[in-house]
Amino acid sequence: MQYISAQGIIDLLKERNIDEAIGQIKISLNGTEVVIKQNDIIGNALQEWLGQFLRENDIYFRSAQGQTFPDFYLSESDTEALCEMKTYYATRNAAFDVANYFGYVDSLKEKPWRLDSDYLIFAYISDDEGNISIKDMWCKKVWEITGPAQDFALKCQRKKGQIYNIRPANWKENSRGTLKPFSCKEEFIAALYQTHLSESNQTKVSKAWLDSVIVEYEKYSGEDMSNRIMAYVKGINK
């Protein structure tokens, strides 16, 4: 049994020429087999496939129970080497849910290590015959795939003014947009705080949340982010 990082998984897949592979999703029931051609199942299927790939290559991993974070534990620790897997159709802009906004914000007070989790991102294409191939892969931290929106500190899915999910920024190096991903986790946390403040409209409540995240992250990592976060908060508020 070997232990490798999320980036190590991508490196191994590239060594195995995943970019040249073509696959299909099939279901066989009561003697009838059919190729699945609907794209809405591909993300879950690729996650199941990746788990099997890790087993076959004797790579350690654990899956979380149910729909909880993370998708994979890549070590025996519950606080390190956490990995989320995200997929999207390669010819479109990535629009997957990074996380539910309120669930993520609440979780950071008790699980600050989520800030250091890795995100495995697969861009795929499919055709009318149900053939699937992987066009690109990335391993990113959460602040490297999130960023501001045109009128907001944090890009999120919003419905009738209500925040639902954190949505990805365009993290690709050749992107032409003016809105770039955050540069570090402190800038990301500052944006979470500003969004929290705009939602709660209570400075005391939002500041208490921020203080709690800073304290708990320092307990976990030994790193005090308070000064750097507040520098970004002041920048956002200008």
Phi (first) and psi of residue 101, to 5 degrees: -60, -55
Is 85 exposed, middle or buried, given 0-12, 13-18 or 19+ CB atoms closer than 10 A? buried
Could you tell me how many residues make up the chain?
238
Q: Is the pLDDT of residue 238 over 60?
A: no
List the end-to-end C-alpha distance of the chain, in Å, as a whole number.
Answer: 52
Paired strand residues for 86: 121
Inter-CA distances, 131 with 10, 22, 31, 161, Å: 21, 6, 22, 39
Structure-token match 């320092």, residue found: 218
The percent of residues in the chain predicted with pLDDT above 70, rounded, is 96
Give CA angle at 56 (50, 58), nearest 5°: 105
The span from the CA of 13 to the CA of 18, in Å, is 6
How high is the pLDDT of residue 236?
66
Quick one: fold of 6-236? ECO RV Endonuclease; Chain A (3.40.600)
What confidence tens digit (pLDDT) does each residue in 119-154 have? 999 999 999 999 999 999 999 999 999 999 998 999
- When pLDDT is averaged across residues 93-117 and rounded to a whole number, the result is 95
What is the bridge-based pairing of β-strands 82-89 and 118-126?
Answer: parallel
In the chain, % helix, strand, coil (3-state, to 5) comes to 40, 25, 40
Q: Taking the model in full, what pTM does it have?
A: 0.92
The span from the CA of 134 to the CA of 125, in Å, is 7
Q: Is the pLDDT of residue 98 over 70?
A: yes
What confidence tens digit (pLDDT) does each residue in 30-39 have? 999 999 998 8
The residues spanned by each domain of the chain are 6-236
The span from the CA of 134 to the CA of 10, in Å, is 12
CA 238 and chain centroid, separation: 29
Nearest to 187 by CA among 144, 219, 140, 138: 144
